[in-house]
Chain A
C-alpha cells in the first residue's frame, strides 16, 4: 500500500506540471496589467516600468514560467503583487477557514445525504421516496446564495440566534456549513438512492433477506458498503471542489476562505497568487483522489493495491 501511495504521488508530478503550465498561460492571457492595477491608475510610466522590472514581469514568459516552477518546487510561490506578502503566508491564513468549512459542510452533507438516499431506496415508490427526492431535487436546483440568504434572514435577523457574517466562533460556522451541506447532501442523496436500488436487487441481498436478517442490518451492514463506492467518488469530487474555496458561500457569509482570496487575486491581476492558488487546488484534487482510491480498498476487500 505504501509503495502504491508513493507511486501515485510521483505520478501526480506530471499532472501538476501540466496544470501549472495551463494556469500560467491563462493568467498571462487575461487582459489587464497587474502593475497598472497595483500602482493605481495615475502612476507614471517610469514607476510602472520600474515595478514591472522589480517583479520580473519584463522577463520573457518562458523564463517567468521556469522561475515559477523552480520556486514552487522549493516551496516558494512568490510574493503577492497585491499585499506584498508571501503567497504561501496569505494562503496559510485562509486555509484553516476553508478546511473547516469543507469538513463541516461535508460533515452535514454525508450523513444527511446518504441517509436520505437510503430511506428513499428502502421506501421506494412510496410517499417517503417521493418526498425525499423532491427535497433532494430542490437542494440541487435552488441556488446556494438563495438558501443562504433565507437562512441568514430567518436565523440571523428575525430569530437572531446565529451570527450572519464572519468566522470568530463556532456559531459562525453553522449557517455556512448548512448552506453548503444542503447542496452537497442533495447530490449525495440521489446518488445513494440510485446506487442502493441497484444493490438491493442483487442476489446476495436476496440471500440476506431470505436468511431472516433485519431490514436495517441488510441495508446498513450489507448493502450500503457496495452502494458507497460510486458515492465516495462523488464525495471526493465535492471535497476537492470545496477545498478550492466556495466563493459564493464565502462572499455571502464573509467567510475568510480561499475562494474570496482567489477572486480578489483575479480582480487585482495578482499573478503569483493566482498561480499559487491554482497549483494548490490541483494538488488538493490529486490528494483527494488518492484518498478516495484508498477508501475503495477499505470498502471492497477485493480491491488490492500494489
Chain B
C-alpha cells in the first residue's frame, strides 16, 4: 500500500520544469530587439555587432571554382572580391579590383590595370600573377571547375605584364565576359592559400569579409577585414566595414527561418509570398525585394514529340495558359507575366514582347487545335482516335508544383489532357536529358541573355541543357551573334530579333518573372538591393543596444 502517495514525485517534476524555464529566461532576446549590438551610440552608424543571416541552402564548398551554387558565388564575392562590378545606376561594368580596363576593337584582348595596395587576407599583395593563376586554375581540366570554367571558356590565354597589368585574350569575342568578371565564381585566389590544402573550407580572398569558421550543417561565419579600403565608389562605406561579423545560419526549413526572424535569432532572411504582407506591416522590419535574376518560370516543349512539332499546338498551349491567374495564386501577385524568353532585368530585354507575346485566349487556343487537325471528343481533343495527352515534368514542391497543377487545369479547359509528373531535381534533370518529357517547367538563375545559348543552341542537345531539342538555324545564328557582338546597341538589336523569333516559333511557353523578398530586422541598417546583383552588405551597420 502506498503511504506517501505521488505528491512528492509530482512536486519534484514541477520544480524541475520551473527551474528549466528560469534558467532559460536569462540572457536571451526579445523579439525583433537588439542582440549582439554595436558600440559608439553617438550619431552616425555604429561600429561593431553581428549580422545574422538565415540561409536556406548550405554551400557545398567555398572554393568558388568547384561549385555551381548561387549561394557560393555570393559568399565568395564577399570574401574574394571581383575584377569588375556593375554600377547599380548606369548598369555599366566598371572596375573594382582594377583601376582601368580596356577592350580591343575586335573584342578579343582585355587589358586590366590592377589596383595597387590590395592585399589578400593572408597579407600577400594581390598581383597580376595571382589573377593569371586563378584563371588558369579554372581552365585546368584537373580542377574540374564548374561555372568558373564555363565562364572562361573563350579565354585563350592569360598574361601577367609586370605586377599590375593583366591581359586576357579571347578566342572569339564574348559579350558576357564583362558580367562574368563580376561574379563570385571568378574571385582572385591566393596560390599560397590553395596550396595549403582544403581550400574549400578555408577560403582566402581580397574582399571586405574574411572567412572565420564553418560549422558543418550549422553556420558559416565571416569577420571584418580590417585592411579593406578599396570599396567601389557607389558604396558609402569606404574603409573596413562596420559590423564585426556576418554569420550565415543554415536553416533549411522555411517556417523555422521565419520563426528565427521573429525571435531575433536571425536578422535577415528570404520570405515566402504568404509572409510578405506580415513583415511589410511589422514596424520592426523592413522588406526588400528584387526581381528574380534569371529566367522565372516557363514551359519547355520537347520538339522530338510529333505532337509538339506542330507550331499550332505550341501556340494553342501558349494561348490556353492564364498567366495572371497563376501569378495571383502561386506568387500572391508578386510577379509579372512573361511574354518572351528574356526577363525585364536582362540586358537586351525588348518591351515590345508585351504586345507581341501570347495572351490568355482560350477560344483562339481551341481554334488553333482544330486547325491542327484535332477534333473535340467527349472531354479532350483527339486525332486518329488518340486523345491529345501530354506529360508535364515539374519539381515536387513549391511554386513549380502549384503552377503545374494550374496549367493542367487550364489546358483541360481547352481539351488537352496533361499528366503532371513531379520529381526531385536530380531525377528531373536526368529525365529531361533522356528526353522522357513532353513538356517541363523550368526556371534558371543567370545574369546575361546568353543563357539562351545553354537552352536553345543546337550544339547543346545531349551535351548540355537544350532539353527542348531545338535545332533552328535562324535561332542558332542569332544566339551566336548575341555572344560575339560586343557593341551594346548592336547586341541589343540581335536579342530583339531573337525574342521576336522565339515568340513566333513558340518553342517555350513563358509564364512569369517573379519578385523575391527579404525581411531585414531594423537593428541592421544600410542593407540595400543592387538591381542585378542582389543584397549588398558593404554599407551595413548594426544599431547599438
Given A84-B61, A85-B198, A37 and B252 touching (CB < 8 A)?
no
Q: Is A94 an interface residue (CB 8 A)?
A: yes
Contact in complex: B201, A167 (CB < 8 Å): no
Q: Given the complex, which residues of B lie within 8 Å of A115, measured CB to CB?
A: 9
Q: Is A296 an interface residue (CB 8 A)?
A: no
B-binding segment of A62-70, A226-234, A252-260: A252-260
Instruction: Please measure, in the bound complex, the distance between the C-alpha atom of A33 and the C-alpha atom of B431, giving whole angstroms.
Output: 10
- Size band of the B side of the interface? 35 or more
Instruction: Please measure, in the bound complex, the distance between the C-alpha atom of A39 and the C-alpha atom of B263, giving whole angstroms.
Output: 38
Contact in complex: A256, B217 (CB < 8 Å): yes
Instruction: Please measure, in the bound complex, the distance between the C-alpha atom of A37 and the C-alpha atom of B425, giving whole angstroms.
Output: 9
Per the 8 Å Cβ criterion, residues 425-478 of B in contact with A are 425-427, 429-431, 433, 454, 460, 462-465
Q: Is A36 an interface residue (CB 8 A)?
A: yes
Given A32-B430, A42-B464, A254-B253, A93 and B217 touching (CB < 8 A)?
yes
Q: Is A44 an interface residue (CB 8 A)?
A: yes
Instruction: Please measure, in the bound complex, the distance between the C-alpha atom of A32 and the C-alpha atom of B430, giving whole angstroms.
Output: 5
Query: What mask results when residues 39 to 82 of chain A are scored 1 for a CB within 8 Å of chain B, else 0?
Result: 11111110100110010000000000000000000000000001
Q: Is A31 an interface residue (CB 8 A)?
A: yes
Query: What mask results when residues 197 to 241 of chain B are scored 1 for a CB within 8 Å of chain A, else 0?
Result: 010110000000000000111110000000000000000000000
B-binding segment of A157-165, A186-194, A285-293: A157-165
Query: What mask results when residues 166 to 178 of chain A are scored 1 for a CB within 8 Å of chain B, else 0?
Result: 1110010010000
Query: What mask results when residues 131 to 151 of chain B are scored 1 for a CB within 8 Å of chain A, else 0?
Result: 000000000010010110110
Contact in complex: B256, A161 (CB < 8 Å): no
Contact in complex: A168, B218 (CB < 8 Å): yes
Tell me the smallest distance from the CB of A243 to a CB of chain B, in Å: 16
Q: Is A211 an interface residue (CB 8 A)?
A: no
Of A41, A155, A157, the residue contacting B262 (CB under 8 A) is A157
Contact in complex: A166, B259 (CB < 8 Å): no
Tell me the smallest distance from the CB of A242 to a CB of chain B, in Å: 16
Given A156-B263, A254-B256, A260-B252, A39 and B25 touching (CB < 8 A)?
no
Of A174, A252, A268, A269, the residue contacting B24 (CB under 8 A) is A174
Given A83-B200, A252-B253, A153 and B259 touching (CB < 8 A)?
yes
Q: Is B80 an interface residue (CB 8 A)?
A: no
Contact in complex: B146, A156 (CB < 8 Å): no
Among residues of B, the one whose C-beta sits closest to the C-beta of A257 is B217
Given A42-B150, A254-B250, A254-B252, A163 and B28 touching (CB < 8 A)?
yes
Given A167-B218, A171-B28, A267-B424, A50 and B141 touching (CB < 8 A)?
yes
Q: Given the complex, which residues of B lie within 8 Å of A85, measured CB to CB?
A: 198, 200-201
Contact in complex: B462, A45 (CB < 8 Å): yes
Q: Is A97 an interface residue (CB 8 A)?
A: yes
Contact in complex: A174, B424 (CB < 8 Å): no
Contact in complex: A44, B217 (CB < 8 Å): no
Instruction: Please measure, in the bound complex, the distance between the C-alpha atom of A93 and the C-alpha atom of B462, giving whole angstroms.
Output: 38
Contact in complex: A160, B256 (CB < 8 Å): no
Per the 8 Å Cβ criterion, residues 394-436 of B in contact with A are 424-427, 429-431, 433
Contact in complex: A165, B256 (CB < 8 Å): yes
Contact in complex: A41, B264 (CB < 8 Å): no
Q: Given the complex, which residues of A lie within 8 Å of B21, measured CB to CB?
A: 161
Contact in complex: A164, B427 (CB < 8 Å): no
Q: Given the complex, which residues of A lie within 8 Å of B454, measured CB to CB?
A: 41-42
Number of interface residues of A (CB under 8 A): 61
Q: Given the complex, which residues of B lie within 8 Å of A161, measured CB to CB?
A: 21, 24-25, 28
Q: Given the complex, which residues of A lie within 8 Å of B264, measured CB to CB?
A: 160
Q: Is B355 an interface residue (CB 8 A)?
A: no
Contact in complex: B217, A36 (CB < 8 Å): no
Among residues of B, the one whose C-beta sits closest to the C-beta of A152 is B259
Instruction: Please measure, in the bound complex, the distance between the C-alpha atom of A117 and the C-alpha atom of B53, giving whole angstroms.
Output: 44
Q: Is A3 an interface residue (CB 8 A)?
A: no
Tell me the smallest distance from the CB of B267 to a CB of chain A, in Å: 13
Contact in complex: A251, B253 (CB < 8 Å): yes
Instruction: Please measure, in the bound complex, the distance between the C-alpha atom of A97 and the C-alpha atom of B217, giving whole angstroms.
Output: 10
Given A32-B427, A214-B3, A254 and B28 touching (CB < 8 A)?
no
Per the 8 Å Cβ criterion, residues 3-27 of B in contact with A are 3-4, 6, 9, 20-21, 24-25
Query: What mask results when residues 252 to 269 of chain B are scored 1 for a CB within 8 Å of chain A, else 0?
Result: 110111011011111000
Q: Is A90 an interface residue (CB 8 A)?
A: yes
Instruction: Please measure, in the bound complex, the distance between the C-alpha atom of A82 and the C-alpha atom of B58, giving whole angstroms.
Output: 11
Given A83-B61, A171-B24, A160 and B217 touching (CB < 8 A)?
no
Per the 8 Å Cβ criterion, residues 1-51 of A in contact with B are 31-34, 36-37, 39-45, 47, 50-51
Given A40-B68, A54-B144, A161-B25, A94 and B216 touching (CB < 8 A)?
yes
Q: Is B30 an interface residue (CB 8 A)?
A: yes
Among residues of A, the one whose C-beta sits closest to the C-beta of B66 is A84
How many residue pairs at the A-B interface have CB separations less than 8 Å? 163
Among residues of A, the one whose C-beta sits closest to the C-beta of B215 is A256
Q: Is A119 an interface residue (CB 8 A)?
A: yes
Of B1, B216, B426, the residue contacting A215 (CB under 8 A) is B1
Q: Is B2 an interface residue (CB 8 A)?
A: yes
Contact in complex: A160, B30 (CB < 8 Å): yes
Per the 8 Å Cβ criterion, residues 309-336 of B in contact with A are none
Of A31, A40, A268, the residue contacting B430 (CB under 8 A) is A31
Q: Is B60 an interface residue (CB 8 A)?
A: yes
Q: Given the complex, which residues of A lie within 8 Å of B127, measured CB to CB?
A: none
Contact in complex: B24, A165 (CB < 8 Å): no
Q: Is A302 an interface residue (CB 8 A)?
A: no
Contact in complex: A42, B460 (CB < 8 Å): yes
Contact in complex: B249, A254 (CB < 8 Å): yes
Contact in complex: B426, A268 (CB < 8 Å): yes
Tell me the smallest distance from the CB of B156 to a CB of chain A, in Å: 17
Among residues of B, the one whose C-beta sits closest to the C-beta of A270 is B60
Q: Is A299 an interface residue (CB 8 A)?
A: no
Instruction: Please measure, in the bound complex, the distance between the C-alpha atom of A255 and the C-alpha atom of B217, giving whole angstroms.
Output: 7
Q: Given the complex, which residues of B lie within 8 Å of A50, measured CB to CB?
A: 141, 144
Among residues of A, the one whose C-beta sits closest to the C-beta of B141 is A50
Instruction: Please measure, in the bound complex, the distance between the C-alpha atom of A51 and the C-alpha atom of B142, giving whole angstroms.
Output: 9
Q: Is A216 an interface residue (CB 8 A)?
A: yes
Instruction: Please measure, in the bound complex, the distance between the C-alpha atom of A115 and the C-alpha atom of B16, giving whole angstroms.
Output: 15
Of B24, B249, B257, B427, the residue contacting A31 (CB under 8 A) is B427
Give the interface centre of B29, B217, B427 by most chain A CB atoms within 10 Å.
Answer: B217
Contact in complex: B218, A41 (CB < 8 Å): no
Q: Given the complex, which residues of B lie within 8 Å of A84, measured CB to CB?
A: 61, 63, 66, 200
Given A174-B20, A254-B218, A164 and B256 touching (CB < 8 A)?
yes
Q: Is A149 an interface residue (CB 8 A)?
A: yes
Q: Is A261 an interface residue (CB 8 A)?
A: yes
Given A51-B144, A152-B256, A83 and B60 touching (CB < 8 A)?
yes
Given A152-B256, A160-B31, A162-B24, A119 and B6 touching (CB < 8 A)?
yes
Instruction: Please measure, in the bound complex, the distance between the C-alpha atom of A255 and the C-alpha atom of B146, giving whole angstroms.
Output: 29
Among residues of B, the one whose C-beta sits closest to the C-beta of A44 is B463
Among residues of B, the one whose C-beta sits closest to the C-beta of A148 is B256
Can you report 29 A-B residue pairs in the complex whose CB atoms are below 8 A from each other?
A32-B430, A33-B433, A39-B146, A40-B147, A42-B464, A47-B144, A50-B144, A54-B144, A83-B200, A84-B61, A84-B200, A93-B215, A97-B218, A119-B6, A152-B259, A156-B260, A157-B262, A165-B251, A165-B266, A168-B218, A171-B24, A215-B3, A251-B253, A252-B255, A253-B256, A254-B250, A261-B217, A264-B58, A268-B60
With A161-B24, A166-B219, A255-B217 known, 20 other A-B pairs at CB within 8 A are A32-B427, A32-B430, A39-B68, A40-B147, A47-B144, A82-B60, A90-B216, A93-B215, A93-B217, A122-B2, A152-B256, A160-B28, A162-B28, A163-B263, A165-B260, A254-B218, A254-B251, A256-B217, A264-B58, A268-B60
* 5 nearest A-B pairs in the assembled complex, by CB-CB distance: A256-B217, A40-B68, A32-B426, A93-B216, A215-B2
